[in-house]
Amino acid sequence: METKNSKIPRVDMPCQPAAVRRGNFDEVALGYTPAMAIQEASRCLQCKKPLCVTGCPVEVPIRDFIGHITQNDLEGAYRVIKTTNSLPAVCGRVCPQEHQCEGKCILGKKGQPVAIGRLERFVADTHIAATACEQVTGTTACAVPLKDRKVACIGSGPSSLTCAGVCAAAGLKVDVYEALHEPGGVLIYGIPAFRLPKGVVSTEINGLRGAGVTFHLNSVGGRTVAVADLMQEYAAVFIGVGAGLPIFLGIPGENLVGVFSANEYLTRVNLGRAYDFPQQDTPAYPGRHVTVFGAGNVAMDAARTALRMGAESVHVVYRRTRAEMPARREEVEHAEEEGVQFAMLSAPVRFNGNEEAKLCSVTLQKMELGEPDNSGRRRPIPVPDAVYDMPTDLAIVALGTRSNPILLEATPNLRLNARGYIEVNEETGETSIPNVFAGGDIVTGAATVILAMGAGRRAGREIVKRVTN
Amino acid sequence: MPTRILHKESLIPGKTSKQQLDAPQIARKAQPGHYVKLRISATGERIPQTIADTDPEKGTITIVYLALGKSTSMLETLGAGDVIHDVCGPLGHATHIEKRGTVVCVGGGTGIAAMHHIAKGHALAGNHVVGIIGARSKDLLLFEQELRVFVDELLISTDDGSYGHKGLVTELLHDRLEKDKNVFEVVAVGPVPMMAAVAETTRPFGVKTTVSLNPIMVDGIGMCGACRVTVDGKTKFACVDGPEFDGHAVDFAELRRRLAAFREQEAVSLEQWRVSHGD
């Protein structure tokens, strides 16, 4: 059985053709049909001791939901997923499955692992929740609201949405305070619509609204609403304020006009909908020859966004090689199909401006790989005298973020770790302030949607336990 | 959240107005030096506006703007009773204010209104506040009466001599610093060339000089780095590290260039709006 299934190739995901999709912001991956899903699900060995679940930060009972798909029982599959994952339509699209569930799948040892992410997405997209309660919890028997017990969540990204969902499902009234004018955090301002359509995010948020979660927009944690104020009003507070200041390269010319952080470029296009300028007021900087620095998912998003915004060429510049790129494999492949080029083993030395101090080129140092460093990856070292200029009028720096200081400065009794992020109890997510919890990027530094959700779920369960007892 | 305009007063017809907004949550927390982010409509851009005044008891904040691009031109079409789509704040670091003696607060253009809030904070702290404000001509001078309520002295200049000293605010400032050695700080808010000139005026006197910078900002909450400015050779984020910095250390030339980064798009946006509004 095992050998046989591992020889069956996994079912490909239909996609928009690369030549078409590089001209639009519609979703690239189109999703399985029911027949495709059942065919792929039937590759699953239904292991007695499934390893896939051990790779999932929120422990979705993967084998069981796939079993329901093979029986064509999508409602059952949906309920199983929802027992632990409140945002499956999101996770099915953006999780790095190859390093998580699919990376553990036994079929992957000899062939291709089951396409767990695609199946999760199929279930979430196909079975439409009948009620808000079902959407948030997967069950039809939600708890009776305990009206006087309220929880506040600061931020409305993956960690806060998950925490809010867990609390709402237990009957707690939840108020979410979001600094921007639209809820969703990184799912809205960061991840482009061609990878995660905005409708998927708003469906999840509307589900939470239906389950008694109220969203307060333009409310900055630490500014408009202080943690101390919220503690007066709420039984528990969850801090999920997400990413902070972008990290730049620290090389000369970085403040020339034409050099942007990926956060800025993506926020303008995604949150500001700059692809629809001037119908939308927020513009993006036009670049004909774009360079992107970094090799994670954000770099891929920025590169593919720049293509869609009309760039003639887009180069991802990375000081190591393809093998070390931290981005999801599928994103790298999609980017390449669309025409993104990769300038590997190249490190930026300085940005050069024209007479108007606008970016016109970047000076790059050729690298080669040396001995492995602390991360286990081979360390890039400069090749002597191998320096060259690459013309570019728009450079996008995607090197990650530092912690956001706004809430932390306003909450001096919140204990931080050496890296400047919030210190929490690993088991509960509780901070140094009793009944104040935290999770997501403000605890771990820049990480994935699913890790943030895992943290939100852990804190949410602890809050429910304390508040309902 | 949608925020109602309670009161609007035109200061320079069609160009500059003062709006009082019903924003009790922001008014309770706002200190001199803070700003808010506004979005005029559902398709609008997030623009920063320094808070010119607050009334925590009435729950209001005051903004003063120059109608220059599409967002501010749209704002100018709104009046009392209308609603601004989004108002978010207070943001930025508050002005550092302590009682130390004589402070000179210099303002130009709509920056006079932003300076007003800082000057008021210094007056409430018990400092001797000297205001210096300037404009091209008398009818373009903002906030004179508002400042007179609390400043100890108010010096005025106009380019054409139609009111007060004929010349620049920096000339008044220079004279003052020559005569008065007790000034512990100079605060300047206004157009970039004015703030740069103030910093150059005070530099030989060695007087601490604080400027409030107005770079392009997108989110305003420390996420994007659009607002980075070079201060003392280091990159700072005006939204969370500022917006006030040591004027003697700011790279004003770079700030000017970065402020112009989207000039073409801004022109397109304004033109498209004007055409669709028939003027």
Q: What is the pLDDT of residue A133?
A: 75
Residue A3 pLDDT class (50, 70, 90 cuts): low
User: pLDDT tens-digit profile of A138-184?
Assistant: 777 777 767 678 999 999 999 999 999 999 988 899 999 999 999 99
- Is A323:A346 a contact under the CB 8 Å cutoff? no
CA distance A148 to chain B (A): 23
Query: Distance between CA atoms of A293 and A397, rounded to whole angstroms?
Result: 5
Q: Quick check: A329 pLDDT over 90? A: no
- Chain A CB within 8 Å of residue B171 CB: no
Q: Which H/E stretch holds residue A253?
A: none
Exposed/middle/buried for residue A167 (C-beta within 10 Å: 0-12, 13-18, 19+): buried
Q: How many CB pairs under 8 A join A and B?
A: 126
- Chain A CB within 8 Å of residue B236 CB: no
Query: Distance between CA atoms of B122 and B96, rounded to whole angstroms?
Result: 9
Q: What angle do CA A188, A194, A199 make, to 5 degrees?
A: 50
Q: What is the pLDDT of residue A254?
A: 95
Of A217, A244, A277, the CB nearest to B222: A244
Residue in chain A lying closest to B231 (CA): A255
Residue in chain B lying closest to A266 (CA): B224
- Chain A CB within 8 Å of residue B110 CB: no
User: pLDDT tens-digit profile of A15-71?
Assistant: 999 999 999 999 999 999 999 999 999 999 999 999 999 999 889 999 999 999 999
Q: Is B88 in Cβ contact with A224 (below 8 Å)? A: yes
Of A218, A255, A405, the CB nearest to B235: A255
User: Mean pLDDT, chain A, as a whole number?
Assistant: 93
ipTM of predicted complex: 0.95
Of B25, B230, B268, the CB nearest to A278: B268
In chain B, what is the straight-line distance between the N-terminal and C-terminal CA atoms, in Å?
Answer: 30
Q: What is the pLDDT of residue A373?
A: 83
The DSSP call for residue A142 is: P
Residue A137 pLDDT class (50, 70, 90 cuts): confident
pTM of the complete model: 0.94
Neighbours of B12 (CB within 10 A): 15
CA distance B29 to chain A (A): 7
The HSE-up count of residue B166 (CA atoms within 13 Å, CB side) is: 3
Q: Is B260 in Cβ contact with A216 (below 8 Å)? A: no
Query: Distance between CA atoms of B266 and A319, rounded to whole angstroms?
Result: 36
Q: What is the pLDDT of residue B278?
A: 57
Q: Quick check: A94 pLDDT over 70? A: yes
What is the β-pairing status of strands A236-239 and A436-438? Answer: parallel
- Chain B CB within 8 Å of residue A225 CB: yes
Q: What is the pLDDT of residue A131?
A: 72
User: pLDDT tens-digit profile of A175-232?
Assistant: 999 999 999 999 999 999 999 999 999 998 998 998 889 999 999 999 999 999 999 9
Rounding to the nearest 10 degrees, give the CA dihedral for residues A70, A72, A78, A79.
Answer: -90
Rounding to the nearest 10 degrees, give the CA dihedral for residues B18, B19, B24, B25.
Answer: -80
Nearest to B46 by CA among B219, B224, B213: B219
Residue A364 pLDDT class (50, 70, 90 cuts): very high
Nearest to A435 by CA among A185, A228, A241: A228
Of B71, B224, B268, the CB nearest to A267: B224
Task: Outline where DSSP puts E strands in chain B.
Answer: 3-12, 16-22, 35-39, 47-50, 53-55, 60-66, 83-84, 86-91, 102-108, 128-135, 153-158, 165-166, 183-189, 208-212, 228-231, 234-237, 244-246
Of B43, B222, B240, the CB nearest to A281: B43
pLDDT in tens, chain B (279 residues): 689 999 999 999 989 999 999 999 999 999 999 999 999 999 999 999 999 999 999 999 999 999 999 999 999 999 999 999 999 999 999 999 999 999 999 999 999 999 999 999 999 999 999 999 999 999 999 999 999 999 999 999 999 999 999 999 999 999 999 999 999 999 999 999 999 999 999 999 999 999 999 999 999 999 999 999 999 999 999 999 999 999 999 999 999 999 999 999 999 999 999 998 855
User: pLDDT tens-digit profile of A244-265?
Assistant: 899 999 999 999 999 999 999 9
